[in-house]
Amino acid sequence: MGRETLRQRERRAAHFRVRHEGLADRAPVDAATVQQCLRGLDKHNCNHFGVRACVRMELDGLHEPPSHAWCGGTRCLLPWPAVGKRTTFIAYAAWRRRDPAVKQLIVGGADPTVSEAAAEGCAPAGLRQALHSVAPRSAVYAVAQIACDACGARPGEDGGAAARCGPLLRCAPPLLRCTPCGCVCCERCLWSTFCEPPQSQSEERGEVRCGACRASLHTPGGEEAEEGAALAGHCRAASRASSAASAFEEEAEAAAEAADQEADQEGGGEECGRFGVGEGVGGSPAGRAAVAGPYSFLRPNCIVCNLDRTCRMAGRRGDAFAALPPRAAAANYAAGSSDTALLRALCSANAGVSLDTADEYGMTPLHVAAWRGAAASGDAALRAAWCPARALQTAVPLPTVRGAGLRVLISSREGHAGAGSVVIDGAVPEPLLEKLDALFASLPLAPRYKCTQGLNDRAYFCDAEGWGVPIVGTPIAHMRFLLYAEAGGGLPPHVDLSRTDATGRTSTHTFILYLSGCAEGGETVLLESLSLGKGSVRAAVTPVRGRLLLFPHACPHLARPVVAEGLPKLLLRGEMY
């Protein structure tokens, strides 16, 4: 064996100090470093949390959320349930699904149970050893699941059902309502079952199980788990859901029949019913199973996207969904191809895949199964998903566009790549702009996957019901919101890529709808050529709320940096065919 390098020796020494916590010399982290680490998590940069750095950092300190979650101190631009609360590095990384960072923080000795409600943590004995002894993806998945559930916990939840904590009911906050069983457990209860060895052949090591009825929180079999919880008397919600399931099934069937009759009366053709999930029973498995039968699937032409082509790429194992991890992309592929065996395997504990994980356009396996008409996959996804309601899309009536003024930027007669570029003022009425603002506020911000993205955040939306038709007169399957909330955010000279839909059509033009104005900076500049760069300006378009910019994909363009006086800059972008 060769000699160890200095880096290897330091890593080995750091691992030893982590295993023997008393030897770790941890120091508080200053505010500038905290913000740098949190911004690094946003940008998928895990370099701040190597084991050599973690052994010198106080990982369990509580910190304010990153400043870019707010704009102007009033409006929250990051729809995070925990905004305004202090958080730890591992809780923030788990909520943002930065799995590599969560893994490194677990190795570095971070306590996933520390929160503002439990500043000292509520970890049971042996939690650290249990996290290190299971497969890393199982540990990361468990931390992410409980962290996401804790963000949505209700402070006033009844703790009487958390019987595992003992006769005095000293529950460790927050109290979480488990899915699918509906039992109320504190965080310590969940971690205690995680640390325990399997008690039957149906249990797997590294699973997060309900502390009351030991139902798995993320594997199929919700009906059996709920029935066991109701019989044990651990959860009143489970018994209420059981008694309400039959009534809800009748209501769902009646609603489906009424929707079918209404669709037939409106003009025939293919049916376009609602794909609903029973919110009336609190998202319990019995309620979800009740609506698993009377599916009303989305009409194929409601979503004009490339899922048909993607799902046929069996040789690529679903990695055509580039913005998803390979296993989550495989779950979307399995849902669309009715491969229920693969879908159930992927949502097992050892696979570490959340069926609520969406691609960049918000399409979960449940959404894909509904769109593709795969009833078996939809049933499996309903029983295993944490939050089935994420697959819902809501249609709203939209007004028509009147009185828009058009201005030609580059004449269609010119031999320029941007020939035919135009800008339309007043293209979109204010009521529609307000609805788009509300839509953006409800969407999560996507990770910054590429360093070339610049200082902007993006939110993606799959327009399954034609929200964007009044904007450009045609369905827009994939819409992207771009938010510039930091001074200096812009994009260098580039050209846009085209998109091919399920029918083989290839997009030709880009549209940009400005949802906010910039008094200074933030212009979109059409260039003469990429080789000449910034010095070859053909036209500069200033962001004005309601202004619509249309130009060919091949037209070179850039986005000038946003200055502090022009923040925030928010726009909607998409492709035209």
Q: What is the pLDDT of residues 210-248, one digit of tens each?
A: 777 777 765 433 333 333 333 333 333 333 333 333 343
Average pLDDT over residues 66-92: 57
- Position 7 scores a pLDDT of 73
Q: Is 555 helix (H, G, I), strand (E, B) or coil?
A: coil
- Position 360 scores a pLDDT of 59
Average pLDDT over residues 352-376: 63
Query: To 10 degrees, the CA torsion angle through 181, 170, 154, 62?
Result: -120
Q: Where are the alpha helices (DSSP H) in 153-300?
A: 187-195, 222-232, 236-265, 285-292
* CB distance 172 to 124 below 8 Å: no
Residue 252: C-alpha distances to residues 80, 182, 249 (Å): 32, 21, 5
Lowest mean pLDDT among 80-94, 398-412, 434-448: 398-412
Lowest mean pLDDT among 167-171, 186-190, 322-326: 167-171
Closest C-alpha among 417, 461, 339 to residue 79: 461
0.75 surpassed by pTM: no
- Position 531 scores a pLDDT of 75
How much of the chain exceeds pLDDT 70, in percent? 52
* Cα 474 to Cα 49: distance, rounded to the nearest angstrom: 46
What is the sign, positive or negative, of the torsion defined by CA atoms of 521, 522, 523, 528? positive
The model's confidence at residue 160, banded by pLDDT at 50, 70 and 90, is very low
Closest C-alpha among 417, 444, 534 to residue 82: 444
Residue 125: C-alpha distances to residues 8, 103, 129, 193, 370 (Å): 31, 20, 9, 11, 43
* Cα 488 to Cα 558: distance, rounded to the nearest angstrom: 13
* Cα 31 to Cα 177: distance, rounded to the nearest angstrom: 34
Residue 431: C-alpha distances to residues 110, 400, 463, 465, 548 (Å): 47, 10, 18, 18, 16
Asked if the model's pLDDT at residue 149 lies above 50, the reply is: yes
Across-strand partners of 573?
480, 512
Q: How far apart are the first and last CA of the chain?
A: 61
Q: What are the residues whose beta carbons fall under 8 Å from the beta carbon of 27, sequence distance 6 or more?
A: 56, 57, 58
How much of the chain exceeds pLDDT 90, in percent? 2
The structure tokens listed for 279 are: 């919110």
Buried b (16+ CB within 10 A) or exposed e, 491-500: bebebbebbe
- Position 73 scores a pLDDT of 38
* CB distance 350 to 136 below 8 Å: no
pLDDT tens profile 504-526:
778 888 999 999 888 788 889 99
Highest mean pLDDT among 337-341, 470-474, 506-510: 506-510
- Position 322 scores a pLDDT of 37
* Fold of the domain spanning 405-576: Jelly Rolls (2.60.120)
Asked if the model's pLDDT at residue 117 lies above 80, the reply is: no
Closest C-alpha among 482, 446, 448, 443 to residue 463: 443
* Cα 574 to Cα 562: distance, rounded to the nearest angstrom: 21
What is the DSSP secondary structure assignment for residue 13, as one 8-state letter? H
Highest mean pLDDT among 16-30, 368-382, 531-545: 531-545
**158 vs 562, which has greater pLDDT?**
562
At 123, the amino acid letter reads A
Q: How far is CA 273 from the centre of its chain?
A: 25
Asked if the model's pLDDT at residue 157 lies above 60, the reply is: no
Peptide bond into 174 cis (omega under 30): yes
What is the DSSP secondary structure assignment for residue 298, as one 8-state letter? P
Residue 276, φ and ψ in degrees, nearest 5: -115, 155
Buried b (16+ CB within 10 A) or exposed e, 366-397: bbbbbbbebbebbbbbbbbbbbbebbebeeee
Query: To 10 degrees, the CA torsion angle through 515, 520, 525, 531?
Result: -140
Q: What is the mean pLDDT of the chain?
A: 66
Burial class for 554, CB neighbours closer than 10 Å (0-12, 13-18, 19+): middle
What are the structural domain ranges in the chain? 6-216, 240-391, 405-576
The model's confidence at residue 313, banded by pLDDT at 50, 70 and 90, is very low
- Position 42 scores a pLDDT of 74
- Position 23 scores a pLDDT of 58
What is the sign, positive or negative, of the torsion defined by CA atoms of 318, 321, 322, 326? negative
For the chain, the C-alpha Rg in angstroms (whole number) is 26
The structure tokens listed for 148 are: 């996401």
CA angle in degrees (0–180, nearest 5) for 311-317-322: 80
* Cα 524 to Cα 285: distance, rounded to the nearest angstrom: 49
